[in-house]
Amino acid sequence: MDPETFADIFASDLALEIKSEFMELRGVGADVPTCTTHVISRFRNLLSDPNDGPVIFLILAALQLREGHLQPTFRDAAVDLIESGEALRAYQAVEPNLRADRKSLLGAFLASLSEADVVDE
């Protein structure tokens, strides 16, 4: 996956913070599962939030996809969030054009997730 393909998924402050934490660890040689575990631990208090929780799972799935190490748990969670509409609600937009763009982006992301190979956990 081209790193910029789903760049708009990283448009929120929370998403950028998650990406930064993940990539900082990758930069010092940590593997994808270690980075994922760190992010989950670091943002654990936000997982049940209806706006922030979906962002965490979507960003982790996008990062894993980009790094070529997509775990089925995160792929399935992201797919469920997109298909249920929770992902779109998490990326709320008042402006109709922006909402349509985000819906389209999430649709493309869903297609990529559905086609991606997953690793054994």
Asked if the structure places residue 121 within a domain, the reply is no
Number of structural domains found in the chain: 1
Give pTM, 2 decimals: 0.88
Task: Read off the pLDDT band of 3 (50, 70, 90).
Answer: very low
Judge residue 110's burial from the number of C-beta atoms within 10 Å of its C-beta, 0-12 exposed, 13-18 middle, 19 or more buried. middle
Asked if the structure places residue 52 within a domain, the reply is yes
Contact 19, 60 (CB under 8 A): no
Contact 112, 65 (CB under 8 A): yes
pLDDT in tens, 18-57: 999 999 999 999 999 999 999 999 999 999 998 899 999 9
pLDDT in tens, 60-102: 999 999 999 999 999 999 999 999 988 888 766 656 676 778 8
Query: Count of residues for the chain?
Result: 121
pLDDT for the residue 51: 86
Tell me the two tokens of residue 117. 């190979």
Asked if the structure places residue 45 within a domain, the reply is yes
